[in-house]
Copies of this chain bind each other. A is one copy, B any other.
Amino acid sequence: VYSEKVMDHFTNPRNVGEIENASGVGEVGNPVCGDIMRLYIQVEDGIIKDVKFKTFGCGAAIATSSMVTEMVKGKTIEEALQITNKAVAEALDGLPAQKMHCSNLAADALHKAIEDFQNKS
């Protein structure tokens, strides 16, 4: 059911953890299962220098978050805002329709983290 890229990011997730005193933090919950995704960004001169995530969610949530952190690192805020749930799923060579609720957590949390950063600055 799952692509090789999904399995890779699930079993070796990138950028797991927290950032202390992050520039922005985004948190979203999955209405289906109640799981929570939290994503932290460190912004310097308009560039996302560091990004980490933490979740207790399922493999689809972990794989998409891991992929989002790789896609976003080094990008400008404007570029990061253009990363959609669809783009993340495509970068992973697709995800089962049943797991869309889970896979949307990652980009949603990213956008919330950027919003949080913008509200603070």
Contacts and interface: CB of A to CB of B under 8 A. Distances in A.
A10 B56 contact: yes
B56 A57 contact: no
Nearest to A35: B58
Interface string A85-104: 00000000000101101100
Contacts of A2: 56
Interface string A103-120: 000000000000000000
Most central of A34, A57, A58 by chain B CB within 10 Å = A58
Interface string A1-36: 010000000100000000000000000000011110
Interface of A: 2, 10, 32-35, 55-61, 96, 98-99, 101-102
